[in-house]
Amino acid sequence: MSMQTNLSLSSQRTDNLAGIIDVPGDKSMSHRSLILGSLAIGTTKVTGLLEGADVLATADAMRALGVDITRHDDGTWVIVGQGLHGLVAPETALDLGNSGTGVRLLMGVVAGQAITATFTGDASLSVRPMARITDPLQQMGTHVASRDGGLLPVTITGQSEPMAISYESPVASAQIKSAILLAGLTARGDTEVIEPHASRDHTESMLRHFGATVEQTVRDDGTHHVQLHGGAQLIAADIAVPRDPSSAAFPMVAALLTKGSDITLPSIGMNPLRTGLITTLIEMGGDISILNPRDEGGEPVADLRVRHSDLHGINIPAERAASMIDEFPILSVAATQAYGTTIMNGVAELRVKETDRIKVMADGLIAAGAIVSYDDDTMTVTGGPIAGGMTVNSQHDHRIAMSFLTLGLISNAPVSVEGCETIHTSFPDFAKIMQNAGANIAETGS
């Protein structure tokens, strides 16, 4: 489905989802492919890149920073890297649209360059917290100017040799960690990030792929330490982007919940720091077969076969949250159809995503007839019938929109979702792809 504004979709009860569903390339790796390819010496070719609005915004930003990035007719992206010190100051502000990953990672990039850049975004991104990124960057010697509360627009003036720091992050966040590591590429000495537990590690893996030295250790107290050795050059290296497990979550849950369904999701990224939802759904009784495990582009991938299942509630440990942080909205939908109660711990980070995802999901699920409660760091859902028959505003959040469209597939009455245009940021053609598998999803009024 092409990108448009004010798109509303409606979904209704569906059975027998079937076939092969090709989900888009991994969003996290797509952002990083463009960024690290731009900072490397030589030409990098990327296949499987997610061509959603968020990633395209990152590509445009890298072009504005002086990088030659082109897309060939066969879908291959070619990046002519400028090296670690080759970026130029953009002539206008870098508009990252709705992309929290893009804006935060690029702040780290600019912090390690002797240039100044201003970052802007859409209405949703402009109320998301940036101080958690800019505070450690300031410790590295970066000059930062922003609105009160660290909000966009943010202007970053970087340094060609920022100070190497050891930063203890209060939360496990790949965005915080990645911004610091990207700034640390041009620092003298070693840059270290300490997390309470491990967040997704695509940045570390891809830095190694391009020739950097990165060490990851877990201490006796459970903290996760990542150390980047500064002063290295990045050398161009081709990348095959696996398919996004966060996008696969929606058809996966839809198939588990709808009677008679049997689908296959090929080439899904199986990085162990991204598979918390799969582990959780299997623990809940989900029939998910992991087939043909293999390595592609330095990352583990596998094909997933998913069939309708009777689920039961479980208590999900907080330490698993970082490996499924984007999947809690759709997990809460699955929990409405599980026998008993599902307790999701460690979800505070969801309250500073595109929206307060906990509140928005809880409010919508309750309006649909679900039994839900939550506090700052926990969400509890008790299974039962879903009445549906309501309209939800997605609050410009693509994962909220797709989660409620999935809910409509098992509701007694249709569910309408406003603001579905942001689905294009991560899963272009979501509605069309699900329709082809048998889902009843259509534009409102069509």
Query: Which residues are marked as active site?
Result: 326
Measured distance CA(105)–CA(89) in Å, rounded? 16
Is 173 marked as binding a ligand? yes
Is 32 marked as binding a ligand? yes
Q: In what order do the strands lie in the sheet with 94-95?
A: 94-95, 116-120, 151-157, 143-147
Is 100 marked as binding a ligand? yes
**How many alpha carbons fall within 13 Å on the CB side of residue 297?**
28
Measured distance CA(101)–CA(110) in Å, rounded? 14
In Å, what is the CA distance from 29 to each residue of 112, 124, 203, 345, 434?
21, 23, 8, 26, 24
Is 357 marked as binding a ligand? yes
Q: 140 φ, ψ to 5°?
A: -85, 0
Contact 154, 104 (CB under 8 A): no
Measured distance CA(292)–CA(315) in Å, rounded? 30
Partnered with residue 373 across adjacent β-strands are: 380
Q: Where are the alpha helices (DSSP H) in 41-88?
A: 53-64
Is 128 marked as binding a ligand? yes
First to last CA, the chain: 14
Is 294 marked as binding a ligand? no
Measured distance CA(332)–CA(365) in Å, rounded? 9
- Binding-site residues sit at 27-28, 32, 100, 128, 173, 175, 326, 353, 357, 399
- Binding-site residues for 3-phosphoshikimate sit at 27-28, 32, 173, 175, 326, 353
- Binding-site residues for phosphoenolpyruvate sit at 27, 100, 128, 175, 357, 399
